[in-house]
Amino acid sequence: MTDTEPTDTPPFDAARLAKAVRQRLQSLQRSGVSSIQTQTGQSVDLHQLQNQLRHIQQHGLPIDESGDSQPSAGQSGPSPIDTIAKPPTTTPAPPNPTSTLTPSPVPEQIPSTSPTAQESEIMPSKKQAELDIVCQEVADCKACVELASTRNKTVFGVGNANARLVFYGEAPGADEDKQGEPFVGRAGKLLNKIIEAMGLTRDEIYILNTIKCRPPGNRNPTPEEQQNCAGFLKRQLEIIQPEYIVCLGAVASHSFLECNTPIGKMRQQFFEKNGIKVLCTFHPAYLLRDPRRKRDVWDDIQFLMKDMGLPIPEKSEGVR
Ligand code: SF4
Protein backbone atom coordinates (compact mmCIF):
# COMPACT_ATOMS: atom_id res chain seq x y z
CA MET A 1 0.00 0.00 0.00
CA THR A 2 1.38 3.44 -0.89
CA ASP A 3 1.21 6.56 1.25
CA THR A 4 -1.36 8.05 -1.07
CA GLU A 5 -3.83 5.20 -0.77
CA PRO A 6 -6.74 5.70 1.62
CA THR A 7 -6.41 3.62 4.76
CA ASP A 8 -9.86 2.05 4.34
CA THR A 9 -9.00 0.49 0.96
CA PRO A 10 -9.74 -3.26 1.13
CA PRO A 11 -6.47 -5.26 1.26
CA PHE A 12 -5.34 -6.63 -2.06
CA ASP A 13 -5.66 -10.41 -1.91
CA ALA A 14 -2.82 -11.72 -4.06
CA ALA A 15 -3.52 -15.35 -3.16
CA ARG A 16 -7.09 -15.16 -4.34
CA LEU A 17 -6.16 -13.42 -7.56
CA ALA A 18 -3.41 -16.00 -8.18
CA LYS A 19 -5.93 -18.77 -7.70
CA ALA A 20 -8.34 -17.27 -10.22
CA VAL A 21 -5.56 -16.78 -12.78
CA ARG A 22 -4.29 -20.33 -12.22
CA GLN A 23 -7.75 -21.68 -12.97
CA ARG A 24 -7.66 -19.92 -16.34
CA LEU A 25 -4.13 -21.13 -17.08
CA GLN A 26 -5.02 -24.73 -16.19
CA SER A 27 -7.93 -24.53 -18.57
CA LEU A 28 -5.62 -23.25 -21.32
CA GLN A 29 -3.11 -26.02 -20.64
CA ARG A 30 -5.83 -28.65 -20.82
CA SER A 31 -6.64 -27.22 -24.24
CA GLY A 32 -3.04 -27.82 -25.33
CA VAL A 33 -1.67 -24.28 -24.88
CA SER A 34 1.85 -24.29 -23.44
CA SER A 35 2.79 -20.60 -23.61
CA ILE A 36 1.23 -17.19 -24.02
CA GLN A 37 2.50 -13.92 -25.41
CA THR A 38 2.65 -10.65 -23.51
CA GLN A 39 1.62 -7.36 -25.09
CA THR A 40 5.29 -6.75 -25.90
CA GLY A 41 5.49 -10.04 -27.79
CA GLN A 42 7.43 -11.89 -25.09
CA SER A 43 6.62 -15.60 -24.82
CA VAL A 44 5.78 -16.80 -21.28
CA ASP A 45 5.84 -20.49 -20.40
CA LEU A 46 2.56 -21.48 -18.70
CA HIS A 47 4.24 -24.13 -16.58
CA GLN A 48 6.62 -21.57 -15.04
CA LEU A 49 3.82 -19.09 -14.60
CA GLN A 50 1.74 -21.72 -12.80
CA ASN A 51 4.60 -22.39 -10.37
CA GLN A 52 4.92 -18.71 -9.52
CA LEU A 53 1.19 -18.37 -9.06
CA ARG A 54 1.07 -21.49 -6.89
CA HIS A 55 3.72 -19.97 -4.66
CA ILE A 56 1.72 -16.78 -4.32
CA GLN A 57 -1.50 -18.71 -3.72
CA GLN A 58 0.00 -20.88 -1.00
CA HIS A 59 2.11 -18.25 0.73
CA GLY A 60 0.59 -14.92 -0.20
CA LEU A 61 4.02 -13.62 -1.07
CA PRO A 62 4.11 -11.65 -4.30
CA ILE A 63 7.32 -12.27 -6.20
CA ASP A 64 8.78 -9.13 -7.76
CA GLU A 65 10.97 -8.86 -10.85
CA SER A 66 14.16 -9.50 -8.90
CA GLY A 67 12.85 -12.73 -7.37
CA ASP A 68 12.53 -11.18 -3.92
CA SER A 69 9.35 -11.72 -1.95
CA GLN A 70 7.38 -9.40 0.23
CA PRO A 71 4.38 -10.00 2.48
CA SER A 72 1.03 -9.32 0.92
CA ALA A 73 -1.27 -6.74 2.43
CA GLY A 74 -3.06 -8.01 5.48
CA GLN A 75 -0.50 -10.76 6.14
CA SER A 76 1.63 -10.17 9.19
CA GLY A 77 3.63 -13.40 9.39
CA PRO A 78 3.95 -17.01 8.31
CA SER A 79 0.87 -19.22 8.69
CA PRO A 80 1.11 -22.69 10.21
CA ILE A 81 1.04 -23.99 6.65
CA ASP A 82 4.16 -22.02 5.81
CA THR A 83 6.08 -23.84 8.47
CA ILE A 84 4.84 -27.22 7.33
CA ALA A 85 5.00 -27.19 3.58
CA LYS A 86 6.98 -24.15 2.48
CA PRO A 87 8.66 -24.77 -0.88
CA PRO A 88 12.18 -23.52 -1.66
CA THR A 89 12.16 -19.75 -2.10
CA THR A 90 14.28 -19.83 -5.24
CA THR A 91 12.82 -22.89 -6.95
CA PRO A 92 9.03 -23.22 -6.77
CA ALA A 93 7.76 -26.76 -6.20
CA PRO A 94 6.89 -28.75 -9.33
CA PRO A 95 3.17 -29.07 -10.09
CA ASN A 96 2.63 -32.43 -8.45
CA PRO A 97 -0.29 -31.93 -6.06
CA THR A 98 -0.37 -35.53 -4.87
CA SER A 99 3.18 -35.18 -3.52
CA THR A 100 2.49 -32.11 -1.38
CA LEU A 101 0.60 -33.87 1.37
CA THR A 102 0.72 -32.20 4.73
CA PRO A 103 -1.01 -34.62 7.11
CA SER A 104 -0.65 -32.34 10.10
CA PRO A 105 -3.69 -31.11 11.94
CA VAL A 106 -4.19 -27.40 11.42
CA PRO A 107 -7.55 -26.64 12.99
CA GLU A 108 -8.82 -23.08 12.93
CA GLN A 109 -5.64 -21.66 11.41
CA ILE A 110 -5.66 -22.43 7.69
CA PRO A 111 -5.92 -19.26 5.60
CA SER A 112 -9.23 -19.43 3.84
CA THR A 113 -9.11 -20.68 0.28
CA SER A 114 -12.81 -20.03 -0.09
CA PRO A 115 -13.60 -18.62 -3.46
CA THR A 116 -15.17 -15.18 -3.55
CA ALA A 117 -18.79 -14.98 -4.59
CA GLN A 118 -17.59 -14.02 -8.04
CA GLU A 119 -15.12 -16.91 -8.23
CA SER A 120 -17.76 -19.34 -6.99
CA GLU A 121 -19.86 -18.49 -9.96
CA ILE A 122 -17.08 -18.87 -12.51
CA MET A 123 -18.86 -20.66 -15.28
CA PRO A 124 -20.11 -23.78 -13.48
CA SER A 125 -21.31 -25.07 -16.84
CA LYS A 126 -17.73 -24.77 -18.08
CA LYS A 127 -16.55 -26.78 -15.09
CA GLN A 128 -19.17 -29.40 -15.84
CA ALA A 129 -18.04 -29.50 -19.46
CA GLU A 130 -14.47 -30.12 -18.29
CA LEU A 131 -15.67 -32.87 -15.94
CA ASP A 132 -17.59 -34.42 -18.83
CA ILE A 133 -14.35 -34.68 -20.81
CA VAL A 134 -12.62 -36.50 -17.93
CA CYS A 135 -15.71 -38.68 -17.48
CA GLN A 136 -15.47 -39.84 -21.07
CA GLU A 137 -11.79 -40.69 -20.59
CA VAL A 138 -12.73 -42.73 -17.52
CA ALA A 139 -15.39 -44.59 -19.49
CA ASP A 140 -12.75 -45.58 -22.03
CA CYS A 141 -10.05 -46.42 -19.46
CA LYS A 142 -8.65 -49.95 -19.29
CA ALA A 143 -5.59 -49.27 -17.15
CA CYS A 144 -6.65 -51.87 -14.56
CA VAL A 145 -7.08 -54.98 -16.71
CA GLU A 146 -9.13 -56.97 -14.19
CA LEU A 147 -11.48 -54.10 -13.27
CA ALA A 148 -11.98 -53.01 -16.87
CA SER A 149 -12.95 -56.55 -17.85
CA THR A 150 -15.39 -57.14 -14.98
CA ARG A 151 -17.11 -53.77 -14.55
CA ASN A 152 -20.57 -53.00 -15.88
CA LYS A 153 -20.24 -49.23 -15.65
CA THR A 154 -17.52 -46.86 -14.58
CA VAL A 155 -18.49 -44.71 -11.60
CA PHE A 156 -17.06 -41.27 -12.25
CA GLY A 157 -18.64 -39.19 -9.51
CA VAL A 158 -21.74 -37.09 -9.14
CA GLY A 159 -22.79 -33.72 -7.81
CA ASN A 160 -22.21 -30.03 -8.19
CA ALA A 161 -19.16 -29.09 -10.25
CA ASN A 162 -18.82 -25.98 -8.09
CA ALA A 163 -19.21 -27.76 -4.74
CA ARG A 164 -17.51 -26.48 -1.59
CA LEU A 165 -17.61 -29.98 -0.14
CA VAL A 166 -16.60 -33.35 -1.59
CA PHE A 167 -17.34 -36.71 0.02
CA TYR A 168 -14.62 -39.18 -0.89
CA GLY A 169 -15.39 -42.88 -0.60
CA GLU A 170 -13.62 -46.15 -1.14
CA ALA A 171 -14.72 -47.88 -4.36
CA PRO A 172 -17.94 -48.69 -6.23
CA GLY A 173 -20.00 -51.61 -4.97
CA ALA A 174 -22.49 -53.80 -6.82
CA ASP A 175 -25.28 -51.19 -6.87
CA GLU A 176 -22.93 -48.44 -7.98
CA ASP A 177 -21.49 -50.68 -10.70
CA LYS A 178 -25.00 -51.30 -12.04
CA GLN A 179 -26.09 -47.66 -11.98
CA GLY A 180 -22.80 -45.87 -12.68
CA GLU A 181 -23.29 -43.57 -9.68
CA PRO A 182 -21.46 -43.55 -6.32
CA PHE A 183 -23.20 -44.27 -3.01
CA VAL A 184 -26.57 -45.51 -4.25
CA GLY A 185 -26.86 -48.69 -2.12
CA ARG A 186 -27.64 -48.97 1.59
CA ALA A 187 -24.50 -47.09 2.53
CA GLY A 188 -25.49 -44.43 0.03
CA LYS A 189 -28.87 -44.00 1.68
CA LEU A 190 -27.12 -43.46 4.98
CA LEU A 191 -24.79 -40.93 3.37
CA ASN A 192 -27.90 -39.15 2.07
CA LYS A 193 -29.13 -38.90 5.67
CA ILE A 194 -25.82 -37.41 6.72
CA ILE A 195 -26.03 -34.85 3.92
CA GLU A 196 -29.64 -34.03 4.82
CA ALA A 197 -28.71 -33.68 8.50
CA MET A 198 -26.23 -31.02 7.36
CA GLY A 199 -29.08 -29.13 5.72
CA LEU A 200 -27.67 -29.91 2.26
CA THR A 201 -28.65 -32.01 -0.74
CA ARG A 202 -26.64 -34.22 -3.07
CA ASP A 203 -26.99 -31.50 -5.70
CA GLU A 204 -24.96 -29.12 -3.54
CA ILE A 205 -21.98 -31.38 -2.87
CA TYR A 206 -19.86 -33.75 -4.93
CA ILE A 207 -19.31 -37.47 -4.31
CA LEU A 208 -16.51 -39.62 -5.69
CA ASN A 209 -14.35 -42.64 -4.88
CA THR A 210 -10.68 -43.60 -4.85
CA ILE A 211 -11.20 -45.64 -8.03
CA LYS A 212 -13.87 -45.57 -10.73
CA CYS A 213 -14.43 -49.29 -11.28
CA ARG A 214 -15.79 -51.94 -8.94
CA PRO A 215 -13.25 -54.39 -7.53
CA PRO A 216 -14.66 -57.93 -7.90
CA GLY A 217 -16.18 -59.30 -4.70
CA ASN A 218 -16.06 -55.84 -3.15
CA ARG A 219 -12.44 -56.31 -2.18
CA ASN A 220 -10.39 -53.24 -1.30
CA PRO A 221 -8.78 -51.47 -4.26
CA THR A 222 -5.11 -52.37 -4.60
CA PRO A 223 -2.42 -49.68 -4.32
CA GLU A 224 -1.71 -50.16 -8.03
CA GLU A 225 -5.36 -49.61 -8.95
CA GLN A 226 -5.48 -46.50 -6.78
CA GLN A 227 -2.32 -45.25 -8.44
CA ASN A 228 -3.76 -45.93 -11.90
CA CYS A 229 -6.83 -43.89 -11.07
CA ALA A 230 -5.12 -41.07 -9.16
CA GLY A 231 -4.75 -38.89 -12.24
CA PHE A 232 -8.51 -38.83 -12.77
CA LEU A 233 -9.10 -37.84 -9.14
CA LYS A 234 -6.47 -35.12 -9.38
CA ARG A 235 -8.13 -33.62 -12.43
CA GLN A 236 -11.60 -33.82 -10.88
CA LEU A 237 -10.41 -31.91 -7.83
CA GLU A 238 -8.54 -29.35 -9.94
CA ILE A 239 -11.77 -28.62 -11.77
CA ILE A 240 -14.12 -28.65 -8.78
CA GLN A 241 -11.68 -26.87 -6.43
CA PRO A 242 -13.52 -27.79 -3.22
CA GLU A 243 -12.73 -26.18 0.10
CA TYR A 244 -13.39 -29.37 2.07
CA ILE A 245 -13.05 -33.12 1.51
CA VAL A 246 -14.53 -35.68 3.88
CA CYS A 247 -12.73 -39.00 3.57
CA LEU A 248 -15.15 -41.81 4.38
CA GLY A 249 -13.38 -44.73 6.03
CA ALA A 250 -9.82 -45.95 6.32
CA VAL A 251 -9.23 -46.83 2.66
CA ALA A 252 -10.21 -43.37 1.43
CA SER A 253 -8.40 -41.60 4.28
CA HIS A 254 -5.17 -43.56 3.85
CA SER A 255 -5.27 -43.26 0.07
CA PHE A 256 -5.88 -39.52 0.04
CA LEU A 257 -3.54 -38.59 2.87
CA GLU A 258 -0.95 -41.26 2.08
CA CYS A 259 -0.67 -42.56 5.61
CA ASN A 260 -1.58 -45.59 7.73
CA THR A 261 -2.85 -43.90 10.86
CA PRO A 262 -5.86 -45.72 12.37
CA ILE A 263 -9.03 -43.92 11.33
CA GLY A 264 -10.07 -43.47 14.97
CA LYS A 265 -7.01 -41.28 15.51
CA MET A 266 -7.63 -39.15 12.43
CA ARG A 267 -11.10 -37.92 13.40
CA GLN A 268 -12.01 -34.51 14.81
CA GLN A 269 -9.21 -32.58 13.13
CA PHE A 270 -8.48 -31.05 9.77
CA PHE A 271 -5.59 -32.10 7.61
CA GLU A 272 -4.44 -29.96 4.72
CA LYS A 273 -3.70 -31.11 1.22
CA ASN A 274 -3.21 -28.80 -1.74
CA GLY A 275 -5.11 -26.02 0.00
CA ILE A 276 -8.08 -28.27 0.80
CA LYS A 277 -9.20 -28.98 4.36
CA VAL A 278 -9.55 -32.72 4.82
CA LEU A 279 -11.65 -34.41 7.51
CA CYS A 280 -11.68 -38.16 8.10
CA THR A 281 -14.56 -40.14 9.56
CA PHE A 282 -16.07 -43.62 9.45
CA HIS A 283 -17.54 -45.05 6.25
CA PRO A 284 -21.36 -45.30 6.16
CA ALA A 285 -21.03 -49.05 5.47
CA TYR A 286 -19.25 -49.37 8.81
CA LEU A 287 -22.13 -47.54 10.49
CA LEU A 288 -24.50 -50.14 9.08
CA ARG A 289 -22.45 -52.81 10.84
CA ASP A 290 -21.96 -50.84 14.05
CA PRO A 291 -24.74 -48.22 14.48
CA ARG A 292 -23.21 -47.06 17.78
CA ARG A 293 -20.63 -45.20 15.68
CA LYS A 294 -23.30 -42.91 14.20
CA ARG A 295 -22.86 -40.59 17.15
CA ASP A 296 -19.13 -40.30 16.37
CA VAL A 297 -19.82 -39.51 12.74
CA TRP A 298 -22.36 -36.87 13.70
CA ASP A 299 -19.78 -35.31 16.01
CA ASP A 300 -17.33 -35.21 13.09
CA ILE A 301 -19.93 -33.73 10.78
CA GLN A 302 -20.80 -31.01 13.30
CA PHE A 303 -17.08 -30.26 13.60
CA LEU A 304 -17.08 -29.78 9.83
CA MET A 305 -20.29 -27.76 9.76
CA LYS A 306 -18.96 -25.38 12.35
CA ASP A 307 -15.87 -24.72 10.26
CA MET A 308 -17.93 -24.34 7.09
CA GLY A 309 -20.16 -21.83 8.82
CA LEU A 310 -23.25 -24.03 8.41
CA PRO A 311 -25.96 -23.69 11.07
CA ILE A 312 -26.22 -26.64 13.42
CA PRO A 313 -29.85 -27.35 14.34
CA GLU A 314 -30.39 -27.09 18.09
CA LYS A 315 -32.58 -30.16 18.21
CA SER A 316 -30.90 -32.10 15.47
CA GLU A 317 -31.57 -35.83 15.38
CA GLY A 318 -28.15 -36.26 13.80
CA VAL A 319 -27.43 -39.39 11.79
CA ARG A 320 -30.04 -42.06 12.40
S1 SF4 B 1 -10.24 -48.02 -11.77
FE2 SF4 B 1 -9.65 -46.09 -12.77
S3 SF4 B 1 -7.64 -46.49 -13.68
FE4 SF4 B 1 -8.57 -48.50 -13.22
S5 SF4 B 1 -9.65 -49.10 -15.12
FE6 SF4 B 1 -11.14 -48.04 -13.84
S7 SF4 B 1 -11.04 -45.90 -14.51
FE8 SF4 B 1 -9.19 -46.91 -15.28
Mean pLDDT of 153-157: 98
How remote is the C-alpha of 18 from its chain's centroid? Answer: 18
Looking only at the bridges linking them, the beta strands covering 244-248 and 276-281 are parallel
DSSP state of 162: T
Q: Name the pLDDT band for 272 (thresholds 50, 70, 90).
A: very high
Question: Is 16 a pocket residue for ligand 1 (Cβ < 6 Å)?
Answer: no
- Cβ(60)–Cβ(17) below 8 Å: no
Please name the residue whose Cα sits nearest to atom 2 of ligand 1. Answer: 229
CA–CA distance, 123 with 75 (Å, rounded to integer): 30
- Cβ(297)–Cβ(281) below 8 Å: yes
pLDDT recorded at residue 37? 65
CA–CA distance, 278 with 238 (Å, rounded to integer): 15
pLDDT recorded at residue 77? 31
Q: Which of 208, 204, 233 lies closest to 157 in space, CA to CA?
A: 208
Question: Is 135 a pocket residue for ligand 1 (Cβ < 6 Å)?
Answer: no
Q: Which of 143, 146, 85, 137 lies closest to 111 in space, CA to CA?
A: 85
3: three-class secondary structure by DSSP: coil
Beta-strand ranges (E) seen in the chain are: 35-37, 43-45, 101-102, 158-159, 165-169, 206-209, 244-248, 271-273, 276-281
Q: Name the pLDDT band for 66 (thresholds 50, 70, 90).
A: very low
**Cα 151 to ligand 1 centre (Å):** 10
DSSP for 207-233, please give it.
Answer: EEES-SSPPGGGPPPPHHHHHHHHHHH
pLDDT in tens, 22-55: 656 555 554 455 667 666 666 776 656 655 665 5
Residue type, 256: F
- Return the percentage of the chain with pLDDT > 70, whole number: 60
Question: Is 59 a pocket residue for ligand 1 (Cβ < 6 Å)?
Answer: no
By CB neighbour count within 10 A (0-12 exposed, 13-18 middle, 19+ buried), where does 192 fall? middle
pLDDT recorded at residue 313? 79
Question: Is 23 a pocket residue for ligand 1 (Cβ < 6 Å)?
Answer: no
Looking at 79-88, 163-172, 256-265, which range is the least confident one? 79-88
Question: Is 141 a pocket residue for ligand 1 (Cβ < 6 Å)?
Answer: yes
- What number of CA atoms fall less than 13 Å from residue 298's CA on the CB side? 17
- Cβ(59)–Cβ(75) below 8 Å: no
Question: Is 177 a pocket residue for ligand 1 (Cβ < 6 Å)?
Answer: no
- Cβ(262)–Cβ(280) below 8 Å: no
Q: Name the pLDDT band for 69 (thresholds 50, 70, 90).
A: very low
CA–CA distance, 294 with 318 (Å, rounded to integer): 8
Mutation pick for ligand 1 pocket among 229, 232, 234 (CB with most ligand atoms within 8 Å): 229
Mutation pick for ligand 1 pocket among 136, 152, 212, 226 (CB with most ligand atoms within 8 Å): 212
pLDDT recorded at residue 172? 97
**Cα 38 to ligand 1 centre (Å):** 40
CA–CA distance, 150 with 300 (Å, rounded to integer): 36
pLDDT recorded at residue 315? 63
CA-to-CA dists, residue 18 to 10, 15, 55, 84, 167, angstroms: 17, 5, 9, 21, 26
Question: Is 214 a pocket residue for ligand 1 (Cβ < 6 Å)?
Answer: no
Residue type, 112: S
Q: Which of 233, 207, 237, 211 lies closest to 224 in space, CA to CA?
A: 211
| Predicted confidence (pLDDT) at residue 86 exceeds the cutoff of 60 | no
Q: Identify the structural domains of the chain with CATH numbers, from first to last.
A: 14-95 (no CATH), 118-308 (3.40.470.10)
Looking at 61-75, 108-122, 257-271, 275-289, which range is the least confident one? 61-75
pLDDT recorded at residue 59? 54
| Predicted confidence (pLDDT) at residue 81 exceeds the cutoff of 50 | no
Mutation pick for ligand 1 pocket among 144, 152, 210, 234 (CB with most ligand atoms within 8 Å): 144
Please list, in sequence order, all residues whose beta carbon lies within 8 angstroms of the beta carbon of residue 192, skipping any fewer than 6 positions away.
Answer: 183, 202
Mean pLDDT of 246-254: 97
Q: What is the mean pLDDT of the chain?
A: 77
CA–CA distance, 200 with 279 (Å, rounded to integer): 17
